Structure formats: C-alpha cells, structure tokens
Amino acid sequence: MTVPSILITPAAGHADAPLVVLGPSLGTSTILWEDVIPALAAQFRVVAWDLPGHGASPAASESFTVEELADAVADAVGEPFLYAGVSLGGAVGLCLALRHPAQVRRAAVVASGAKLGEPEGWLERAAQVRAQSTSSLIIPSAQRWFAPDSIARRPELSGRLLHALQGADDESYALCCEALAAYDVRGSLGEIRMPVLAVWGQYDGVAPEAKSAEIASGVTDGSIAEIADAAHLPPAEQPEAVAATLLQFFWEAR
C-alpha cells in the first residue's frame, strides 16, 4: 500500500477566506462540482481534487486504501479546511475526520456511508474494468448516478460526467474499487468529534437515507439533510440545493 498522487484545482474565491475542499465520486472528476463552486466561492476559497487516474490526477499503479487517499488529500492541501465529498469522496471525508482531526474543521459526507456495498461486488467490478475497461460501466453507472429526470434536465453535464468515466484510467479505477472493498469505518464513527453533515439524494439506491442516518447517529456531532430529485450525484443533479445546504453548514464555521 502507498499514498497515491492526486492533483487539486487552483483555488476559486477570496484569497483570505476559509478553505473548502471538494471530493469526487468514483468515475467522475472535478466536473461534478463545477456548478456548485461559484456559489461557494462567493464566501469561501474553494478547491477540488481528482481521484488517481481520473481527471487531472496521475494514474496509480500500486494499491492504496481509502485512508491513504485521505492522507494524500491532507498532504496536498497542507492547511486547515472544510470538506465535502461525494460517495468515495465522502468516504475519504470520514477518513480525513478520523486521521486528520486537527486539519478538518467540518465534513459534509454526500451520497456516501461508513461502508459502501459489499467487498465481493467491488472486487467483481475491479475485475470487469480490468477485462473490459470503464466503457463497460457506462449504462449501469448512468442508472445508478442519476434520478429519473436528471439526464433530461441536464443532458450536457450528464454526458460529460459519463465521458469522464469512460476516460478514467482502468487500473486506477480498479484500484479504487479494491480500496472500497476494504473500507469500513462503522466501528470508528464515535471517534469523530467535529461537526459532520450526512447528505443523501432522494432517489439514491447506492447510499440511501439509512447510510446518512448511520453516520449522523454514530459521530459525536452529526446532522442529516436530503436533496430532493437527486440520486447518487447531487452536486451535478441539484447544484443549487447542494450549494445552499453546504453554505449553511460551512457558514457556522466562519
């Protein structure tokens, strides 16, 4: 295992404002957050990061854990920050809260959980991608990612997100799947002391309300919020609602 390399976008917003770091879902890129960033940047300094082999981040060739992804984010940022991440990016947020509590001021965990799926499912997906590439995931990912009307409502952005999945490095994607197969912080939630907001999409079958409720009840200072008419990628599906939810949560830390 090793700490992977990731890249972070240039900061948007005021140079002297508190920093917000945004994390991606597996198979996406910083595109996921592009319609939320302007609203956050009006009050904060905002950066986003890409998973290994996704977007601008270099491909990975060695195994890593979700905890090591969290270490990579903390090292790359290098200062205190507020955090929001989706799915795998949300799992990284919980690991950041556990491993870097002096650096993470608040964490919003979006469409995620303290455990996601079953190990065998992630290992099967890793094998599929190595054999057939991420192109084989386009249809099932579209079905998981988007609420019934999301693609019709935002066809251009939905298409770009699916293209980002197709463009992800196959081995890096598979290694992310293997990291998720080993991920389970349910027994450690009580160690998280900073405020945590667990957010779910109304139609999310991957990380439904029960996942958010488990997080909020397990940490010391947890709360929950639903994003209506969204599934597994709320920042892309309902950017205004996500921005408003995060602004309210982060504003209390200013």
Query: What beta strand segments (E) does the chain contain?
Result: 19-23, 45-48, 81-86, 104-110, 196-201, 222-227
Span 62-90, mean pLDDT? 97
Is domain 19-251 classified as CATH 3.40.50.1820? yes
In this model, does residue 254 exceed pLDDT 70?
Answer: no
Span 24-32, mean pLDDT? 97
In this model, does residue 1 exceed pLDDT 90?
Answer: no
Distance of CA 172 to the CA centre of its chain: 16
Q: Which amino acid is located at 86 in the chain?
A: V
| Sign of the Cα pseudo-torsion (185, 214, 29, 71, in order) | negative
CB 250 within 8 A of CB 20: yes
For residues 176 and 224, give the distance between their C-alpha atoms in angstroms, rounded to a whole number: 26
Verdict on whether the full-model pTM lies above 0.95: yes
Span 213-225, mean pLDDT? 98
Q: What percent of the chain has pLDDT over 70?
A: 99
Strands of the sheet containing 196-201, edge to edge, are 45-48, 19-23, 81-86, 104-110, 196-201, 222-227
Kindly indicate the confidence band of residue 22, based on its pLDDT and cuts at 50, 70 and 90: very high
Span 137-144, mean pLDDT? 95
In this model, does residue 55 exceed pLDDT 80?
Answer: yes
For residues 18 and 170, give the distance between their C-alpha atoms in angstroms, rounded to a whole number: 35
Residues 6+ apart with CB under 8 A from 16: 45
In this model, does residue 10 exceed pLDDT 90?
Answer: yes
Q: Which two tokens stand for residue 130?
A: 């190595």
Kindly indicate the confidence band of residue 252, based on its pLDDT and cuts at 50, 70 and 90: confident
Percent of the chain that is helix, strand, coil (3-state, to 5): 50, 15, 40
Angle at 110 between CA 108 and CA 115, to 5 degrees: 105
Question: What is the domain partition of the chain in residue ranges?
Answer: 19-251
**Average pLDDT for the chain:** 96
Span 67-94, mean pLDDT? 98
For residues 130 and 120, give the distance between their C-alpha atoms in angstroms, rounded to a whole number: 15
User: What is the reported pLDDT for 177?
Assistant: 98
pLDDT digits (tens, 9 = 90+) for 141-187: 999 999 999 999 999 999 999 999 999 999 999 999 999 999 999 99
Residues 6+ apart with CB under 8 A from 5: 52, 57, 58, 60, 72
Instruction: Find the Cα–Cα–Cα–Cα dihedral 131, 135, 140, 143, rounded to 10°.
Output: 160
